[in-house]
Structure formats: C-alpha cells, structure tokens
Amino acid sequence: QQSELNSFLWTIKREPPSYFFGTIHVPYTHVWDSVPENSKKAFQQSHIVYFELDLTDRYTISALTSCQLLPQGKNLQDVLPRDIYRRLKRHLEYVKLMMPSWMTPDQQGKGLYADYLFNAIAGNWERKKPVWVMLMMNSLTEVDIKSRGVPILDLYLAQEAERLGKQTGAVEKVEEQCHPLNGLNFSQV
C-alpha cells in the first residue's frame, strides 16, 4: 500500500506544522509514483518551501558551473595521468558517437539533438576538476541520456512551488556544495 510506504517525510511538531522531506537527485519520473500521498499532500498544503539549493536561480547555476572548473590556464590533461586522460577522451568520443541511438523519439520530437545534449552535459569537460568529470561520467549512460529533459525531483518540486505561487528558498549555498567535493584529493576521486 502506498500509504504504508516510508515517505522520507518528517514532521516538525509546531503550529502550523513544518515538514522535512528527503529527496534524491534523479529524474522525478523515476520516483514520483512511489512518493506517498502524505508527502504530496504536505507539499500541496505548504506555503513556504526550502530546497537544498535554489536550482531555479541563475546565479546558483552559474556558480555551480564555475566551481567545477580548474584554475585559469589549467586543463584536465595537466592534472590527470596520461593513460587515464586518454581513456577518458576515448570514452567520451564513444559516448558522443552512441548518443543519437540512446535518445528517445520523444526527446527528438521535442527538438533535443544529440550534439546539443552532449555539449550540455560534457561541454568544457577538459577544464573541469577531476571530481566533477567523474560525476559527469556517471551521468553519461544510456539510461540517464534517455531521461534527459525530465527535471530531477528537487527541480521539479521547485518548479511546482513557483507555479503554485509558494515562497521558496534554499538551505545551502553553492559553496557549501562545492567546497567538500573540491577538497577531495586525486586519490580520493
């Protein structure tokens, strides 16, 4: 029964009540049918919604992009061992070649082109820090490509909150996301 599922919804007992809902960074269509009604109802009844980051804010997206870059004048081939860099480059060439066959007819019908999608995900990859390239590589699979164009759960909820006229905010700043990842050394990555 959906009503008996663990909803990842915690209630903070106050008047009016507050709720804390744990999300996952996947396309919302992968999990939305499994989100129990009590969580959806709490969202619908809320007036103010806070997210991990404000993914609808241009500054947030720009700052996330900037924090992923190596220092000016540095490229990935300067920091990766030569054999890993070559394997990475070959794999990205393979992904770019395969991407048209990974796209769905629905994506193509919406005007998404494989070259555009590849550049949106992997563009400027040679300027990114290794940890961000690793995360990028994890999203360059056939299953993930077929889901592109569908917002992740956090973004979907933020867009819904805006559509419904709810006040929104964020509990973290971009730097709080970037610094821990950028603080990993090469062997940890």
Tell me the two tokens of residue 89. 């480059």
- Whether 77 is in a domain gets the answer yes
Q: Which residue type sits at 72?
A: Q
| Cα 127 off chain centre by | 19
**pLDDT digits 0-9 by tens, 67-102:** 999 999 999 999 999 999 999 999 999 999 999 999
- Whether 35 is in a domain gets the answer yes
The answer to whether 105 and 151 are in contact (CB under 8 A) is: no
- In sequence order, the β-bridge partners of residue 169 are 50
- Whether 189 is in a domain gets the answer no
- The domain total for the chain is 1
Q: What is the pLDDT of residue 131?
A: 94
Q: Which residues of 55-69 are buried (b: 16+ CB within 10 A; e: fewer)?
A: beeeebeebeeebbe
Find the domain containing 92 and state its range: 2-183
Ranking 21-25, 41-45, 98-102, 127-131 by mean pLDDT, the lowest is: 21-25
Average pLDDT, the chain: 89
- Whether 188 is in a domain gets the answer no
Helices 174-182 and 58-67: crossing angle in degrees, nearest 10, is 10
- Whether 172 is in a domain gets the answer yes
- Whether 16 is in a domain gets the answer yes
Which of 134, 84, 94 has its CA nearest to residue 118? 94
pLDDT at 2 over 70: no
